């Protein structure tokens, strides 16, 4: 079997942990290196079930530190990168844009530079493995849609927030390194993800936690913003397919073809929570509170994933309603995890498990 040494960045985060788990379990002949800074959104407890796997190694580090990035590329001779590490929360980007530039732009360029150096010196074209740099991005780089149309791989970029601007910039750098240095790259742009292990700053886990705490559910504006939602495990499957079968230099959009107005999603979530908690119907919905809209809030995102579906034979595996029920059940069954991440106590796990090794 083909041996690979794959660096997955941001592998302790929400999407990254699902990708790491999938690759570790599905490809025992690969060596998977999980690089994560372990900020507030990175949690090694997300990976407790595979942390002792013989083909898994965790590396604690910051992609914004170029010397460190070059050192681990030299030491481990990665032949592939799946790059998910990023600052992702729009509200945080509005408060502190520079942090998003440092991680999302500078961090990506550091990885590109290290890959370029190693793959043009240490790894030769005659080697059995063809290296690839796979950059995982967002649909937010395309800006905002009105009531019609969809984002395709050729939609012009029009980022509207510091977060999406930083991701758009990183996408451009990845393409530039392909065009200028012939670095073998792949890019995917995905719609909103939901599912297990998502940090409760994002809508669905935040509202699950608030309902449990009987706190207000803050809905921006009138809740009319529309998003295309994709179950996180389906995104991980798409990344697997694109990594192995995508054409170098190309971009693939990943989406669920599953548009929901925010207010309709929240009402569905409230209904599921009332049912699971044995509450009177409509109890959770009374917690909905409309708040001042986010600055520069994009109206609608909607992905056309036909290229991925037709060329690489990928399809979402669950409906949104089914995936949302699975997600709610996981959070209700893992309220200790939820309490720890909201208090910051999960940071102690790294110290206990790794610092004294």
Catalytic residues: 139-140, 163
Q: Work out the number of other CB atoms within 10 angstroms of the CB of residue 209.
A: 17
Q: Nearest-5° angle of CA 179, CA 184, CA 190?
A: 95
Sign, CA dihedral 5-43-194-219, equals negative
According to DSSP, the β-strands at 4-9 and 30-36 are parallel
- Tokens linked to 254: 């990943």
The total number of residues written for the chain in this structure: 357
- Tokens linked to 357: 């090794």
Return all residues near 179 (Cβ < 8 A) that are at least 6 apart: none
CB 72 within 8 A of CB 63: no
Q: Work out the number of other CB atoms within 10 angstroms of the CB of residue 244.
A: 10
Instruction: Identify the bridge partners of residue 187 per DSSP, sorted by sequence position.
Output: 135, 251
Beta strands in 195-237 (DSSP E): 217-220, 226-231
- Tokens linked to 321: 């309603």
Contacts within 8 Å (CB) and 24+ apart, 46-49: 46/12, 46/13, 46/14, 46/17, 46/197, 47/11, 47/12, 47/17, 47/20, 47/21, 49/21
Helices 203-212 & 320-333 angle (0-180, nearest 10): 50
- Tokens linked to 134: 């796979």
């Amino acid at each position: 079997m083909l041996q690979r040494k794959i660096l997955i960045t941001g592998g302790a985060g929400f999407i990254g942990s699902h990708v790491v788990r999938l690759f570790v379990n599905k490809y025992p002949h690969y060596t998977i290196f999980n690089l994560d800074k372990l900020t507030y959104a990175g949690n090694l407890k997300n990976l407790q079930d595979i942390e002792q796997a013989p083909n898994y190694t965790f590396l604690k580090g910051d992609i914004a530190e170029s010397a460190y990035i070059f050192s681990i590329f030299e030491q481990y001779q990665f032949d592939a990168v799946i790059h998910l590490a990023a600052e992702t929360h729009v509200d945080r980007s509005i408060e502190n844009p520079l942090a998003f530039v440092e991680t999302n732009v500078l961090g990506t360029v550091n990885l590109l530079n290290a890959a370029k150096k190693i793959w043009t010196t240490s790894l030769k074209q005659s080697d059995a493995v063809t290296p690839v740099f796979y950059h995982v991005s967002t649909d937010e780089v395309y800006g905002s849609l009105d009531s019609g149309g969809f984002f395709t791989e050729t939609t012009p970029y029009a980022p509207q927030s510091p977060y999406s601007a930083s991701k758009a910039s990183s996408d451009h750098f990845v393409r530039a390194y392909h065009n200028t240095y012939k670095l073998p790259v792949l890019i995917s742009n995905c719609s909103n993800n939901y599912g297990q292990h998502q940090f409760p700053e994002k809508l669905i886990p935040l509202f699950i936690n608030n309902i449990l705490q009987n706190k207000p559910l803050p809905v921006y504006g009138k809740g009319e913003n529309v998003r295309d939602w994709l179950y996180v495990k389906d995104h991980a499957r798409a990344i697997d397919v694109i990594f192995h079968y995508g054409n170098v230099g190309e971009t693939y959009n990943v989406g669920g073809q599953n548009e929901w107005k925010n207010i309709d999603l929240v009402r569905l979530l409230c209904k599921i929570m009332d049912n699971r908690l044995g509450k009177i119907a409509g109890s959770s919905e009374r917690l909905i509170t409309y708040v001042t809209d986010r600055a520069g809030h994009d109206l609608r995102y909607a992905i056309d994933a036909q290229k991925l579906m037709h060329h690489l034979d990928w399809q979402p595996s669950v409906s949104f309603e089914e995936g949302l029920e699975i997600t709610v059940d996981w959070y209700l069954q893992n309220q200790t995890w939820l309490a720890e991440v909201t208090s910051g106590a999960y940071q102690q796990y790294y110290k206990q498990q790794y610092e004294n090794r």
